[in-house]
Structure 1
Amino acid sequence: MRAVWCGFALGVVWLQQQASLPGWFGLLGLWVFIGALIVIACTCFRRRGAWTIRAGWCAVFCAAGCVGFGYASWRAQTRLAFELPHAWEGRDIVVIGSIKGLPTRSADGARFLFSIESADAPVERFPRALQLSWIADDMPPPALEPGSRWRLNVRLKRPHGNANWGVRDSEAALLARDVRATGYVSAPLQAVRLRGMANGVGVMIDRWRWAIRERIATVLGDAPHYGIVVALAIGAQDAVSTADWLLMRRTGTSHLVAISGLHIGFVAGLAGWLMGALWRRSFFIGRSWPLLTPAQKVAIASGALFAAFHAALAGFNVPAQRSLWMACVVALAYVGGRRTAPSVVLAWALGLVLLVDPWAVVSAGFWLSFCAVAAILFAISSRMRVVRNDSPDPQQHEARTRSIAARCADTLRSWLSATIERIRSGARVQFAVTVALAPLTVFFFSQIPLIGPVANAFAIPWVSALVTPAVIAGVALPAPLDAFAFRFAHRLLEWLASALYMLSGPAWTIWQLPQPGMWAMASAAIGIAWCLAPSGWPLRWAAPLTWLPLLAPASSAPADGTFRLTALDIGQGSSIVVETARHTLLFDAGPGPESTHAGERIVVPYLQSAGISALDTLIISHADSDHSGGAPAVLDAIAVRQLLAGLVPDNPLWNQARQAGAQTVRCAAGQHWHWDGVDFAILWPDPGPLQGKPNAHCCVLRVSAPGARRESARVHTPVEARTPMTALLAADIEAPVERTLLARDRAALRAQILLVPHHGSRTSSTEPFLDSVEPSIAVFQVGYRNRFHHPQLGVYERYRARRIELSRSDDDGAARIEADGATLSLERYRQTHRRYWMDTMAGP
Structure 2
Amino acid sequence: MRSGLLALAAGLLLLRFLPALPSTTGLLALGGCALLLALLRWPPARLAALCLLGLLWACLTAQSALDDRLAPAWDGRTLWLEGRIAGLPEQGEGVTRFYLEQAQSRRTALPARLRLSWYGAPPLAGGEVWRLAVSLKRPRGSLNPHAFDYEAWLSARRVGATGSVKAGERLLAAGGAPAWRDALRQRLLAVPAQGREGILAALVLGDGSGLSDADWQALQATGTVHLLVISGQHVAMLAGLLYALVAALYRCGLWPRERAWLPAACLLAMAGALGYGALAGFEVPVRRACAMVALVLLWRWRFRQLGAWTPLLAALVLVLLAEPLASLQPGFWLSFAAVALLVWCFAARQGRFRAWHLLLLTQWAMTVGLLPLLLGLGLPVSLSGPFANLLAVPWVGLLIVPLALLGTLLLPLPGVGEGLLWLAGLQLDWLFALLHRLAAAWPAWQGPAPPPWAICLAVLGALLVLLPRGVPLRAFGLPLLLVALWPAPARVPQGQAEVWLLDVGQGLAVLVRTREHALLYDAGPARRGFDSGEKIVAPVLQGLGVRRLHGLLLSHADSDHAGGAAAVLRTLAVDDLQGGEAGRHKLPRPVRPCREGQRWQWDGVEFVTWQWAAADNPNDASCLLRIEAAGERLLLSGDLGVRGEDWLRASGRDLRADWLLAPHHGSRSSSSRAFLQAVAPRGVLISRGWQNPFGHPHAEVLARYAALGLPTHDTAREGALHLRLGSGTVPQGMRGSGGFWQEK
Counterpart residue type for residue 739 of structure 1: D
Q: Which residue of 2 aligns with 1:674?
A: 601
Counterpart residue type for residue 426 of structure 2: R
Q: Which residue of 2 aligns with 1:836?
A: 740
The alignment's TM-score, normalised by the length of structure 2, stands at: 0.94
Structure 1 residues 226, 603: CA separation in 2 closer, same or farther (over 3 Å shift)? farther
Q: Counterpart of 1:79 in 2: which secondary structure?
A: helix
Q: Which residue of 1 aligns with 2:636?
A: 729
Deviations 1:195-221 (A, max 9, x none): 3656xxxx61x3343233212221258
Q: Which residue of 2 aligns with 1:771?
A: 677
Q: Which residue of 2 aligns with 1:156?
A: 136
Q: Which residue of 2 aligns with 1:119?
A: 105
From 471, 495, 503, the equivalent of 2:438 is 503
Higher deviation after alignment, 208-217 or 169-178: 208-217
2:703 counterpart of 1:797: yes
Per the TM alignment, residue 331 of structure 1 is displaced from its structure 2 partner at its CA by 3.4
Structure 1 residues 154, 510: CA separation in 2 closer, same or farther (over 3 Å shift)? closer
Q: Which residue of 1 aligns with 2:356?
A: 423
Q: Which residue of 2 aligns with 1:307?
A: 273
Q: Which residue of 2 aligns with 1:329?
A: 295
Q: Which residue of 2 aligns with 1:652?
A: 586
Structure 1 residues 591, 511: CA separation in 2 closer, same or farther (over 3 Å shift)? closer
Per the TM alignment, residue 510 of structure 1 is displaced from its structure 2 partner at its CA by 4.5
Is the Cα contact below 8 Å between 1:594 and 1:629 reproduced in 2? no
2:610 counterpart of 1:683: yes
Provide the rounded CA distance (Å) in 2 between the counterparts of 1:318 and 1:566: 35
From 51, 68, 86, the equivalent of 1:82 is 68
Q: Counterpart of 2:209 in 1: which secondary structure?
A: coil
Structure 1 residues 377, 774: CA separation in 2 closer, same or farther (over 3 Å shift)? same
Is the Cα contact below 8 Å between 2:500 and 2:720 reproduced in 1? yes
From 452, 459, 471, the equivalent of 2:404 is 471
Give structure 2 stretches of 5+ with no counterpart. Answer: none
From 758, 765, 786, the equivalent of 2:692 is 786
Provide the rounded CA distance (Å) in 2 between the counterparts of 1:523 and 1:257: 32
Higher deviation after alignment, 267-276 or 144-153: 267-276
Structure 1 residues 131, 674: CA separation in 2 closer, same or farther (over 3 Å shift)? same
Counterpart residue type for residue 127 of structure 1: P
Provide the rounded CA distance (Å) in 2 between the counterparts of 1:650 and 1:665: 11
Is the Cα contact below 8 Å between 2:641 and 2:671 reproduced in 1? yes
2:118 counterpart of 1:134: yes
Provide the rounded CA distance (Å) in 1 between the counterparts of 2:529 and 2:724: 31
2:254 counterpart of 1:298: no
Is the Cα contact below 8 Å between 2:205 and 2:281 reproduced in 1? yes
Q: Number of residue pairs matched?
A: 742
2:565 counterpart of 1:631: yes
Structure with higher Rg: it is 1
Per the TM alignment, residue 543 of structure 1 is displaced from its structure 2 partner at its CA by 1.3
Provide the rounded CA distance (Å) in 2 between the counterparts of 1:543 and 1:815: 38
Provide the rounded CA distance (Å) in 2 between the counterparts of 1:258 and 1:269: 18
Is the Cα contact below 8 Å between 1:38 and 1:60 reproduced in 2? yes
Q: Counterpart of 2:315 in 1: which secondary structure?
A: helix
Is the Cα contact below 8 Å between 2:226 and 2:233 reproduced in 1? no
Per the TM alignment, residue 763 of structure 1 is displaced from its structure 2 partner at its CA by 0.9
Per the TM alignment, residue 71 of structure 1 is displaced from its structure 2 partner at its CA by 0.7
Per the TM alignment, residue 155 of structure 1 is displaced from its structure 2 partner at its CA by 2.0
Provide the rounded CA distance (Å) in 2 between the counterparts of 1:573 and 1:337: 58
Q: Which residue of 2 aligns with 1:105?
A: 91
Of structures 1 and 2, the one scoring higher in RCO (CA 8 A, sep 6+) is 2
Q: Which residue of 1 aligns with 2:213?
A: 242
2:1 counterpart of 1:69: no
Per the TM alignment, residue 604 of structure 1 is displaced from its structure 2 partner at its CA by 1.7
Counterpart residue type for residue 652 of structure 1: K
2:649 counterpart of 1:742: yes
Where in structure 2 are the equivalents of 1:446-465 lying within 5 Å? 446-465=379-398
Structure 1 residues 448, 14: CA separation in 2 closer, same or farther (over 3 Å shift)? same
Question: For the aligned residues, what is the CA RMSD?
Answer: 2.7
Q: Counterpart of 2:500 in 1: which secondary structure?
A: strand
Deviations 1:731-788 (A, max 9, x none): 11011111111111341x2111211101111111111211121212321111111111
Per the TM alignment, residue 94 of structure 1 is displaced from its structure 2 partner at its CA by 1.8
Where in structure 2 are the equivalents of 1:33-44 lying within 5 Å? 33-40=33-40, 43-44=41-42
Where in structure 2 are the equivalents of 1:227-626 lying within 5 Å? 227-272=198-243, 291=258, 294-317=260-283, 319-333=285-299, 336=302, 339-385=305-351, 421-478=354-411, 480-506=415-441, 510-594=444-528, 596-626=530-560
Per the TM alignment, residue 598 of structure 1 is displaced from its structure 2 partner at its CA by 1.8
Query: Identity rate of aligned residues, in percent?
Result: 36
Per the TM alignment, residue 651 of structure 1 is displaced from its structure 2 partner at its CA by 3.7
Give structure 1 stretches of 5+ with no counterpart. Answer: 45-55, 388-417, 659-663, 708-723
Q: Which residue of 2 aligns with 1:701?
A: 625
Higher deviation after alignment, 9-18 or 164-173: 9-18
Q: Which residue of 2 aligns with 1:181?
A: 161
Per the TM alignment, residue 253 of structure 1 is displaced from its structure 2 partner at its CA by 2.3
Counterpart residue type for residue 290 of structure 2: L
Structure 1 residues 322, 2: CA separation in 2 closer, same or farther (over 3 Å shift)? farther
Higher deviation after alignment, 91-100 or 308-317: 308-317
Provide the rounded CA distance (Å) in 2 between the counterparts of 1:88 and 1:3: 47
Per the TM alignment, residue 282 of structure 1 is displaced from its structure 2 partner at its CA by 14
Q: Counterpart of 1:680 in 2: which secondary structure?
A: strand
Per the TM alignment, residue 173 of structure 1 is displaced from its structure 2 partner at its CA by 1.4
Provide the rounded CA distance (Å) in 2 between the counterparts of 1:280 and 1:504: 42
Provide the rounded CA distance (Å) in 2 between the counterparts of 1:335 and 1:375: 22
Provide the rounded CA distance (Å) in 2 between the counterparts of 1:638 and 1:209: 42
Counterpart residue type for residue 731 of structure 1: G
